[in-house]
Amino acid sequence: MERIFLSPSRYVQGKDVIKKAGTYIGKLGSHALVLADKLVWQIAGNNLAKTLEQSHIQVEKVVFNGECSNSEIERVTKLSKKANSNVIIGVGGGKTMDAAKAVANNLNIMLTTFPTTASTDAPTSAVSVIYTDKGTVESYRFYNRNPDLVLVDTRIIANAPPRFLVSGIADALATWVEARAVKQSCSRILIGSAPTIAGQAIAEKAEQILFAHSVQALEANKNKLVTPAFESVVEANTLLSGVGFEAGGLAAAHSIHNGFTAIDGDIHHLTHGEKVAYGTIAQLVLENRSLNELDRYIQLYLQLGLPVTLKDIHLENATDGDFNKIAEVATAEHETIHNMPFKVEPEDLVMALKGVDAYVKNYKKRHGWKDE
């Protein structure tokens, strides 16, 4: 089986990178379609468009409707084709950037991602998560190439709500946990190849950086500061996690996230990373990891304010039917939970989901943790 390493062609991160956007994007095309939702247009989209126009790049502005669905991708593809754009720029969150990837692939044009938060690893990857118009995970789309350019302005990200940074940390902390399982089971990564040593090393490095710097980075974010710790965590959330998951593989944590999307209720108010956080600890429970390792993750998650109990994820009153539905979706035939080094039955997963709640409550009791 071949080993394949995937990564963006160029990654640029730093304060005020937006001011240099024209220099970097101008190498990719002269007519850009900029895709952003209404809020992101105010935060960064208009400034980016102005910078591009000053660099003599023609700009077509399109408002993203909020879901990376087949209908939204088709709509934006038609607009881009009509505008004759030769580069598309997805500005904002993961769903916007995933939609931009799909449009670039449909039209075979150049692609730039410009995240305004460090909340997901979507900016670097060659995959889109496709949702229904109502927000339920429907499928994955895989592409032949990663983004041509990733621009990360850390001043913009430092001004984003801290919840987004924490969500990205949670998503990134799953990277090594899942890549390790793929390695142990000799499974394949998302595109069907074997994982590379480089991809697994990057995934492990992401975990090291996050345990070392996440608390400091969160405090910097709360005060809208760009510090070395903040820069390190933004890179871990975006580049290391993005390359790490794609070249290292996924396992149970993200499948559990997908299971959560199958039920109704307040759980949908949680971010992608917040749901993955619970899934990560559930994977550690499934693997029967040591108490020390569980405590290590639980401690950091509590310090960051991540949801780690059933009450936190709005499932304290969930029925057996709810848990069974989550487990059935998470263990569906196509899910990455089957990359675990052992078979996970739906009942096993239900027990693990409930086990997380019990372990966290036990941790709080042993360590005298008081909820605010």
Q: How confident is the model at residue 165 (pLDDT cuts 50, 70, 90)?
A: very high
Strand partners, 307: none
As given in the structure block, the two tokens for residue 43 are 């935060």
Q: Which pLDDT score, from 0 to 100, does residue 191 have?
A: 78
From the candidates 171, 213, 312, 357, which is the catalytic residue? 171
Active site residue 213: no
0.85 exceeded by pTM: yes
Start-to-end Cα distance in the chain: 51
More confident residue, 137 or 257: 257
Rounded CA gap, 341 and 323, in Å? 23
* Largest Cα span, the chain: 62
Written as one letter, the residue type at 7 is: S
For the chain, the helix, strand and coil percentages under 3-state DSSP, each to the nearest 5: 55, 10, 30
From the candidates 98, 153, 213, 254, which is the catalytic residue? 254
Mean pLDDT computed over 84-104: 97
Residue-wise pLDDT tens digits, 252-281: 999 999 999 889 899 989 999 999 999 999
Rounded CA gap, 287 and 283, in Å? 6
Say which CATH topology domain 162-367 has. Dehydroquinate synthase-like, alpha domain (1.20.1090)
Rounded CA gap, 239 and 206, in Å? 9
Active site residue 266: no
Active site residue 367: no
Rounded CA gap, 336 and 254, in Å? 7
CATH 1.10.4080.10 holds for 10-158: no
Q: How confident is the model at residue 321 (pLDDT cuts 50, 70, 90)?
A: very high
What is the number of other CB atoms lying within 10 angstroms of the CB of residue 111?
Answer: 28
Mean pLDDT computed over 80-87: 97
Q: Is 312 helix (H, G, I), strand (E, B) or coil?
A: coil
Residue-wise pLDDT tens digits, 172-202: 999 999 999 999 998 988 778 889 999 999 9
Q: How confident is the model at residue 370 (pLDDT cuts 50, 70, 90)?
A: confident
Where along the chain do its domains lie? 10-158, 162-367
The answer to whether 286 and 344 are in contact (CB under 8 A) is: yes
Lowest average pLDDT, out of 135-139, 173-177, 215-219, 301-305, goes to 135-139
From the candidates 121, 213, 257, 357, which is the catalytic residue? 257
The answer to whether 188 and 247 are in contact (CB under 8 A) is: no
Residue-wise pLDDT tens digits, 12-27: 999 999 999 999 999 9
Residue-wise pLDDT tens digits, 15-72: 999 999 999 999 999 999 999 999 999 999 999 999 999 999 999 999 999 999 999 9
Rounded CA gap, 110 and 112, in Å? 7
More confident residue, 1 or 286: 286
Q: Which pLDDT score, from 0 to 100, does residue 135 have?
A: 80
Rounded CA gap, 78 and 68, in Å? 15
- Over the chain, what is the mean pLDDT? 96
How many helices (H) and strands (E) are present in the chain, helices listed first? 15, 8
Residue 324 has pLDDT above 80, yes or no: yes
As given in the structure block, the two tokens for residue 211 are 């345990």
Q: How confident is the model at residue 294 (pLDDT cuts 50, 70, 90)?
A: very high
How big is the CA angle at 109 (ends 107 and 110), to the nearest 5 degrees?
150
Active site residue 254: yes
Length of the chain: 372
From the candidates 37, 98, 121, 272, which is the catalytic residue? 272
